[in-house]
């Protein structure tokens, strides 16, 4: 399928880089972020950095605390994590049920392409790339729904979960889990697709 170059604004580029650093564990929960330091790092004024902060706060990756500034968001507590998992499952299952009868060959082609990226990341044991492609796979499903509010609800929940991408000893199991989702969708088996999706989100 054709590929298109995606153009990002300066704040979006900074936010994407910081998101990558957070999900890769290079920035840890509670780490402070300062506009002046990042302005120097990226060679920009403080305005784009401030806007990047705003975007990442909306995504749930940063928190703005009075008198403390901006910090990397904490991981969900052991008590809260089951609730976070359930909220994410509820949103994604709702989306998949809603769109299932109108999934197109083009949709499947997009998910197939991301699945190939997931497989490559697993084979090369690249956890950073796997985290990114896993997020893209689920994001593509959620964005298939016409209601944009669903993505707004889902994004901070999914982002916070991705900060703890360490549940699998064998990374190839992530590929197998996502393949089961897509195989069931391709086969038109809605129950199996929902079951596979629910199993993957933990």
Task: For residue 33, report the phi and psi dihedrals to the nearest 5 degrees.
Answer: -125, 130
Q: What pLDDT, on the 0 to 100 scale, is given for residue 144?
A: 93
How does 115-128 read in b/e, with b if 16+ C-beta sit within 10 Å? bebbbebbeeeebe
pTM for this predicted structure: 0.84
Q: What percent of the chain has pLDDT over 90?
A: 75
Given a cut of 80, whether residue 161 has pLDDT beyond it is: yes
Q: Which domain holds residue 15?
A: 10-72
Residues 59/68, Cβ–Cβ less than 8 Å: no
Q: Determine which of 20-29, 134-143, 171-180 has the lowest per-residue pLDDT on average.
A: 20-29
CA distance 142 to 72: 25
Residues 62 and 97 in one domain: no
Q: Could you tell me which residues come within 8 angstroms of residue 86 by beta carbon, excluding any fewer than 6 positions away? A: none
Task: For residue 189, report the phi and psi dihedrals to the nearest 5 degrees.
Answer: -100, 90
CATH of the domain at 189: 1.20.120.530
Alpha helices in 24-169 (DSSP H): 35-42, 46-59, 81-99, 105-123, 127-142, 148-162
Residues 169/127, Cβ–Cβ less than 8 Å: no
Residues 120 and 160 in one domain: yes
Angle in degrees, 0-180, between the axes of helices 81-99 and 127-142, rounded to the nearest 10: 50
Residues 63 and 136 in one domain: no
Residues 103/200, Cβ–Cβ less than 8 Å: no
The number of folded domains in the chain is: 2
Instruction: State mean pLDDT over 57-73.
Output: 90
3 lies in a domain? no
Q: What percent of the chain has pLDDT over 70?
A: 96
């Amino acid at each position: 399928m054709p590929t298109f170059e995606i153009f990002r604004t300066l704040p979006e580029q900074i936010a994407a880089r910081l998101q990558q650093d957070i999900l890769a564990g290079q920035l840890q929960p509670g780490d402070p972020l300062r506009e002046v330091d990042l302005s120097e790092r990226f060679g920009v004024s403080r305005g784009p950095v401030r806007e990047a902060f705003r975007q990442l706060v909306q995504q749930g990756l940063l928190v703005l605390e009075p008198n403390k500034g901006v910090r990397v968001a904490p991981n969900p507590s052991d008590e809260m994590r089951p609730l976070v998992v359930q909220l994410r499952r509820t949103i994604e299952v709702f989306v998949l049920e809603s769109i299932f009868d109108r999934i197109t060959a083009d949709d499947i082609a997009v998910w197939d392409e991301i699945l190939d990226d997931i497989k490559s990341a697993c084979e090369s044991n690249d956890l950073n790339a796997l985290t990114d492609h896993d997020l893209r796979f689920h994001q593509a499903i959620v964005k298939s729904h016409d209601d944009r509010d669903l993505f707004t609800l889902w994004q901070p929940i999914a982002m916070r979960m991705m900060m703890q991408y360490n549940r699998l000893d064998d990374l190839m199991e992530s590929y197998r889990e996502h393949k089961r989702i897509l195989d069931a969708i391709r086969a038109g088996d809605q129950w199996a697709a929902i079951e596979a999706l629910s199993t993957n989100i933990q």
